Amino acid sequence: MGKQLLVLDEADQILDHGFRNQVDAIISQIPKVRQTLLFSATQTKSVKDLARVSLRDPEYISVHEEARTATPDTLEQYAMIVPLEQKLNMLWSFIKRHLNSKTIVFLSSVKQVKFVYEIFKKLRPGIPLKCMHGRMKHVVQQAIVADFNEATSVLFSTDITSRGLDIKNVDWVVQVDCPENIDNYIHRVGRTARYNKKGKSLIFLCPEEEAMLEKLKATESKIPIHIRKVSSRIFCF
């Protein structure tokens, strides 16, 4: 019998969604003599534990090993300190100022995505608007991504868009809601500045969320420290 091959792609996401038992069951049923490839966007404790039981004498390869930061050098990152009640006003102003940009807007829940999408659609900003979330059927999600890839538009989305999708030529990533952790921030901004292309990201933070900036600067995960605070009164980009 020829060489057996096991590929575990998006391993951190598989484990985050609670499929560890299923992975263990699959590994127990396949030949022990095999080549195993494990890919993961983040090296969490769960991923390291899985690597220990599924890999024998593994060779670790990190695409960011020699990089200065965990995000591309071609990515410009901005932050705005905005009161909660002003976030949607600032988002509207941003969209109106960037009508020629392909933009992904991240919000924290399906309810928020639907609400902001419906309100902004009624206001007719002058650029096509789309929305995507996990309660949509997979075929609908695929159609939305295909349409978004074809034309300049604004996509309102939950974190479902932050990983595992081939989304092309995104100019801006806007985070209206503070991400839960550093990894979520990296995944979100990773939708732009891909394949050595330039991109920009903007995060809206309430005054009480300003500590997130310090976490990004202080982290050992190679997050760039050159995130700039921008006055909430103007857009200078």
The pLDDT tens digits for 48-64 are: 877 887 888 888 887 66
Tens of pLDDT along 92-146? 999 999 999 999 999 999 999 999 999 999 999 999 999 999 999 999 999 999 9
**Angstrom distance (rounded) from CA 20 to CA 29:** 15
Q: Say if CB 94 and CB 235 are below 8 A apart.
A: yes
**Angstrom distance (rounded) from CA 200 to CA 125:** 21
Residues 38 and 136 in one domain: no
Query: Residue 219 pLDDT more than 70?
Result: no
Residues 131 and 37 in one domain: no
Residues 123 and 165 in one domain: yes
Residues 145 and 214 in one domain: yes
Q: Say which residue, 223 or 34, is predicted with more confidence.
A: 34
Q: Say if CB 133 and CB 158 are below 8 A apart.
A: yes
Position 63 in a domain: no
- Number of domains making up the chain: 2
Residues 103 and 220 in one domain: yes
pTM reported for the whole predicted model: 0.81
Position 66 in a domain: no
